[in-house]
Amino acid sequence: MPETLTITDNRTGKTYDVPIKEGTIKALDLRQIKIAEDDFGLMTYDPAFMNTASCRSSITYIDGDKGILEYRGYPIEQLAEKATYLEVAYLLLNGELPSKEQLANWVDTVTHHTILNENFRHLIDSFRYNAHPMGRFISSMAALGTFYPEAKNISDATTRQKQIERIVAKVITIAAFNYRSMVGMPYAYPDNDLSYPGNFLNMMYKMTEVKYTPNPVLEHALDVLFILHADHEQNCSTNAMRAVGSSEVDPYSAVAAAAAALFGPLHGGANEAVIKMLNEIGSMSAIPDFIKRVKSGEGTKLMGFGHRVYKNYDPRAKLIKKVAYDVFEVTGKNPLIDIAVELERIALEDEYFIKRKLYPNVDFYSGLIYQALRFPMEMFTVLFAIPRVSGWLAQWQEMLDDPDQKIARPRQIFTGAARRDYVAMDQR
């Protein structure tokens, strides 16, 4: 079977054979299809990249129809059950699971990079008390890069690795310090005896005790949530990371851009929107009316439902739902869970949602856990961003090492006015 596509241009009657590789044709192969010598050549029009592969990647595999998610070939369910977040971050960044020694070194390195330069505190202090944690996070990531001017040497492998270690380590300190600044509490410094999620909880919640001891169930739950959020192939924020990184800017600036993309309510901001929605619904009896409003298309969406890629139950949502009940054993039940479960039940039986293949996504249950862990709602997207930095950085490295990649620069179909002459003010 020839691996080619034959295209006949009915404008000219000419026929072209275009190679098919990995189920894909190269958009640039269409450029030869012209109606005249000075014609630019055929382009594809694909707003929102609905059917365009922007890269080749060996990091994360998703089968949206079957509800499969794998990091470097390992099913997400196995990683969530058996691995730690830092082990998964190593896997994403390096391609293979670490040996015992490699993991010990990686954990030790990350642990020993969690402290921020003291000057950084002044920067955090200067935000207004009610500044949104994601605004703080985005700005903090860009600001962090100013402490490491060598980070611009992105082609040097050692320098690159150093920034990866710093970013993965310092995001928990940045997130926690910004929280303490918001609530007017003194900063709690990292404790090297604790695990990555345990240390984060320590910096968030340590009060006057000499040593903070995280509850092991909550520490584990947070670690699992970190694993589930670590990467998700070419989503909006990862695409931002790659696009901005393709200009060869330092990784802190690219992470800030990716975090900005994550902030949007259609992406990482959805977990916050889900809690707002559940609060607004307020009771089980109000669910049918709410569903009716969603279906009428009056601008209300069922937040935490639907996904560009998953046309089946998001495997992460399944795992998170289970973690939610583990957490509630310790914290007491979040009363909103009953509304969420009933909402899911009704939606999954409804023709509107069935027809459109709308299922719960990662954000549907995660906010309920974050709330039970006492994180303020505005911080939910930060909790998504913390582990996602490992995915962003893995994708960034892959992009830099890929000889096919260049600065990201899409084309456009120009729809504006044809050339015309400037009109003087008194003649308009």
Smallest distance from the beta carbon of 33 to ligand ACO, in angstroms? 29
Residue 185 contacts ligand ACO per CB under 6 A = no
Which residue in 86, 362, 373, 385 binds ligand ACO (CB under 6 A)?
Answer: 362
Which residue in 197, 306, 315, 391 binds ligand ACO (CB under 6 A)?
Answer: 306
Note if 404 is an active site residue. Answer: no
Count Cβ neighbours within 10 Å for each residue of 236-270 and write b for 16 or more, e otherwise.
bbbbbbbbbbbeebbbbbbbbbbbbbbbeeebbbb
Q: 44: helix, coil or strand?
A: coil
| Segment interacting with ligand ACO (CB under 6 A) among 38-46, 76-84, 206-214, 261-269 | 261-269
Rounded to 5 degrees, what angle do the CA atoms 263, 385, 175 make? 100
Residue 358 contacts ligand ACO per CB under 6 A = yes
CA 188 – CA 201 distance, rounded (Å): 10
Which residue in 225, 243, 270, 373 binds ligand ACO (CB under 6 A)?
Answer: 270
Note if 363 is an active site residue. Answer: yes
Note if 113 is an active site residue. Answer: no
Counting other chains too, the contacts that 368-371 makes at CB distance below 8 Å and 24 or more residues apart are: 368/275, 368/278, 368/324, 368/334, 368/336, 368/337, 368/340, 369/221, 369/225, 369/320, 369/323, 369/324, 369/327, 369/334, 370/271, 371/275, 371/334, 371/336
Smallest distance from the beta carbon of 368 to ligand ACO, in angstroms? 14
Asked if 276 contacts 38 with a C-beta cutoff of 8 angstroms, the reply is no
Residue 319 contacts ligand ACO per CB under 6 A = no
Asked if 4 contacts 19 with a C-beta cutoff of 8 angstroms, the reply is yes
CA 221 – CA 68 distance, rounded (Å): 21
Pairing of strands 4-9, 14-19: antiparallel
Residue 307 contacts ligand ACO per CB under 6 A = yes
Which residue in 169, 222, 254, 294 binds ligand ACO (CB under 6 A)?
Answer: 294
**In terms of Cα–Cα distance, which of 341, 178, 154, 318 is closest to 251?**
154
Q: 239: helix, coil or strand?
A: helix
Which residue in 308, 311, 318, 333 binds ligand ACO (CB under 6 A)?
Answer: 308
Which residue in 33, 302, 317, 337 binds ligand ACO (CB under 6 A)?
Answer: 302
Active-site annotation holder among 267, 326, 350, 402: 267
Which residue in 356, 401, 410, 411 binds ligand ACO (CB under 6 A)?
Answer: 356
Residue 266 contacts ligand ACO per CB under 6 A = yes
Smallest distance from the beta carbon of 71 to ligand ACO, in angstroms? 16
For 175, other C-beta atoms within 10 Å of its C-beta total: 22
Q: Which residues contact 218 (CB under 8 A, 6 or more apart)?
A: 201, 327, 330, 331, 373
Residue 220 contacts ligand ACO per CB under 6 A = no
| Segment interacting with ligand ACO (CB under 6 A) among 69-77, 167-175, 263-271, 388-396 | 263-271
Residue 385 contacts ligand ACO per CB under 6 A = no
**In terms of Cα–Cα distance, which of 93, 379, 84, 50 is closest to 234?**
50
Q: Please compute Rg for the chain using Cα positions.
A: 24
Our separate counts of H helices and E strands in the chain read 17, 5
Residue 267 contacts ligand ACO per CB under 6 A = yes
Q: Which is nearer to ligand ACO, 116 or 320 (CB)?
A: 320
| Segment interacting with ligand ACO (CB under 6 A) among 4-12, 153-161, 167-175, 359-367 | 359-367
Smallest distance from the beta carbon of 339 to ligand ACO, in angstroms? 16
Residue 361 contacts ligand ACO per CB under 6 A = yes
DSSP state of 305: B
Q: Which is nearer to ligand ACO, 120 or 359 (CB)?
A: 359
Site for ligand ACO, rule CB under 6 A: 266-268, 270, 294, 301-308, 356, 358, 361-363
* Residues annotated catalytic, as ranges: 267, 307, 363
